[in-house]
């Protein structure tokens, strides 16, 4: 008769326990116990699940739980445990499955978590302002009179009649929207909703809390594509999630639908499209059904945004600094509006001159062809460069962040004035790197307080 230990050993060797523990770690969202949180990153990295690994370390809730796995008196242990997870993800996207974008996303999260609070708050504010400037996933009727919407509406609000013709803005679209397979498209379809039984069907943003269907008693939810079972979202995000994304994947088209009318308001020409592309921060994410920009405010330079090719052919980025100049009255939001306004007006002068010259161009294009895409795109990028730190290489981005390794440091009157006792683990490889050591600040408590 087999002993208990023999049975246990056989069961362990079969892999049943190991597989069960891996399931626990993968399902950390449903059951966020200490074991799942502590081992989730290691499990998905070992299983070569790059998408899940990135999703996990970019998830704010997971990072919070990872830091809280230690007791309140051992908070530094939880912080450093999170840093270990981030380093695993960073090494994975640098060596095992090289992906520049994902590597930088992990590095930027790491820097953001362990940098100065003032810098964190400033970058969070920049990302919020840029999101409000675009109002990317708001339906036309939901758009507020700020940012891009304000600028575009002002440009065509009172276009004068010229030669019996008037230019009117019929609307505009920002971004390309689709499900994963591309069958269902458009921003409007993103807000298709229905209940489980199909009795309630509609289009528009669902109120919170979601209403329940009177027939099936289930809450109404956003509809998914019948083929790929995914909700419509920004097409850029699908390209990013598939890996290997490049700088062009962080540009969204802005398309103005312009109509030429006579004095009675009747269309006399086919619709014309004025297009340009606006940059997205590399931290763009969809979270809880909303399009968000994770800090810091970093933009990836594309060949479509620059006047000429880079001589070295290397990737370049720009970062919005924590403090924008010396004029505190001019925040990032008003600056963005001014950038777009100057981009569209260009050399045309004031509003009336702009609309008159554009009207002349459109009348000469009876087929409804588009107008000036590249010049607008490059002009806005140039304006953004003037308000940012431009032409940064990936190495520049990494070395800009100072990451503190939280630990306990002891000081004593027996030590020399510039000495301290620290844990020997700090001397381990990568202990003070992200992956480049930028600076180290040490605060000593005791008679001697210098470092």
pLDDT tens digits along 142-190: 999 999 999 999 888 866 667 777 788 888 999 999 999 999 999 999 9
Residues listed for the chain: 451
Nearest partner of 80 among 425, 369, 382, judged by Cα: 425
- What confidence category does residue 15 fall into, taking pLDDT thresholds of 50, 70 and 90? low
* Position 39 in a domain: yes
Residue 203 phi, psi (nearest 5): -140, 130
If you average pLDDT over residues 100-121, what whole number do you get?
82
- For residues 156 and 265, membership in a common domain is answered with yes
Answer yes or no: is pLDDT of 313 > 90. Answer: no
Q: For residue 414, what are the domain limits?
A: 407-451
Answer yes or no: is pLDDT of 76 > 50. Answer: no
Total number of domains in the chain: 3
Q: Give the HSE-up count for residue 445: Cα atoms under 13 Å, Cβ half-sphere.
A: 4
If you average pLDDT over residues 65-80, what whole number do you get?
63
What pLDDT is attached to residue 295? 86
Percent of the chain with pLDDT over 70: 72
Enumerate residues 6+ apart whose C-beta is below 8 A from 322. Answer: 118, 119, 122, 123
- For residues 373 and 412, membership in a common domain is answered with no
Digit-coded pLDDT (tens) for 332-346: 999 999 999 988 887
What is the rounded CA–CA span in Å between residue 300 and residue 329?
28
What is the rounded CA–CA span in Å between residue 296 and residue 401?
11
Beta pairing class for 221-222 and 201-203: unpaired
What is the rounded CA–CA span in Å between residue 429 and residue 203?
55
- For residues 160 and 303, membership in a common domain is answered with yes
- For residues 82 and 131, membership in a common domain is answered with no
Answer yes or no: is pLDDT of 2 > 70. Answer: no
Is residue 277 within 8 Å of 253, Cβ to Cβ? Answer: yes
If you average pLDDT over residues 213-232, what whole number do you get?
94
Digit-coded pLDDT (tens) for 276-298: 899 999 999 998 889 999 888 99
Average pLDDT, the chain: 79
* Position 431 in a domain: yes
Q: What angle do CA 24, 105, 32 make, to 5 degrees?
A: 20
- 3-state SS class at 194: strand
Of 83, 98, 113, which residue sits at a domain end? 98
- What confidence category does residue 433 fall into, taking pLDDT thresholds of 50, 70 and 90? very low
What pLDDT is attached to residue 369? 55
Residue 131 phi, psi (nearest 5): -65, -40
* Position 108 in a domain: no
């Amino acid at each position: 008769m087999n002993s208990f230990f023999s049975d246990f050993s056989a069961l362990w060797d079969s892999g049943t326990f190991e597989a069960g523990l891996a399931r626990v770690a993968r399902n950390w969202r449903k059951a966020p116990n200490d074991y799942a949180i502590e081992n989730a990153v290691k499990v998905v990295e070992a299983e070569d699940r790059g998408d899940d690994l990135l999703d996990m370390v970019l998830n704010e809730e997971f990072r919070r739980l990872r830091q809280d796995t230690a007791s309140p008196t051992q908070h530094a242990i939880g912080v450093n445990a999170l840093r270990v997870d981030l380093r695993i993800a960073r090494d994975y996207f640098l060596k095992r499955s090289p992906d520049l974008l994902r590597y930088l996303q992990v590095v930027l999260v790491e820097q953001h978590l362990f940098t100065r609070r003032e810098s964190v708050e400033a970058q969070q504010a920049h990302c919020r302002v840029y999101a409000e400037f675009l109002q990317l996933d708001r339906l036309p009727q939901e758009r507020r009179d700020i940012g891009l919407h304000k600028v575009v509406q002002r440009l065509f609000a009172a276009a004068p009649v010229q030669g019996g013709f008037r230019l009117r803005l019929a609307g505009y679209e920002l971004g390309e929207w689709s499900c994963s397979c591309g069958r269902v498209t458009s921003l409007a379809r993103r807000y298709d909703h229905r209940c489980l039984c199909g009795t309630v069907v509609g289009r528009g943003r669902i109120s919170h809390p979601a209403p329940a269907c009177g027939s099936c008693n289930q809450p109404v939810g956003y509809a998914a594509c019948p083929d790929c079972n995914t909700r419509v979202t920004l097409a850029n995000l699908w390209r990013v999630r598939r890996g290997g994304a490049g700088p062009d994947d962080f540009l969204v088209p802005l398309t103005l639908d312009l109509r030429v009318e006579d004095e009675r308001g009747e269309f006399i020409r086919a619709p014309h499209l004025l297009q340009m592309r606006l940059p997205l921060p590399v931290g763009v994410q969809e979270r809880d059904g909303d399009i968000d920009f994770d800090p810091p405010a970093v933009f990836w330079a594309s060949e479509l945004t620059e006047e000429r090719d880079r001589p070295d052919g290397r990737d370049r980025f720009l970062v919005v600094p924590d403090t924008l100049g010396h004029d505190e009255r001019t925040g990032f939001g008003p600056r963005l509006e001014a950038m777009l306004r100057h981009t569209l007006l260009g050399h045309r002068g004031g509003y009336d001159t702009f609309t008159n010259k554009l009207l002349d161009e459109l009348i000469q294009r009876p087929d409804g062809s588009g107008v000036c895409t590249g010049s607008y795109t490059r002009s806005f990028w140039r304006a953004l460069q003037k308000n940012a730190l431009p032409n940064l290489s990936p190495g520049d981005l990494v070395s800009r962040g100072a990451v503190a390794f939280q630990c306990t440091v002891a000081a004593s009157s027996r030590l020399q004035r510039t000495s301290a006792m620290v844990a020997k683990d700090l001397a381990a490889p990568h202990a003070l790197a992200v992956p480049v050591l930028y600076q180290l600040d040490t605060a000593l408590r005791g008679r001697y307080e210098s470092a």
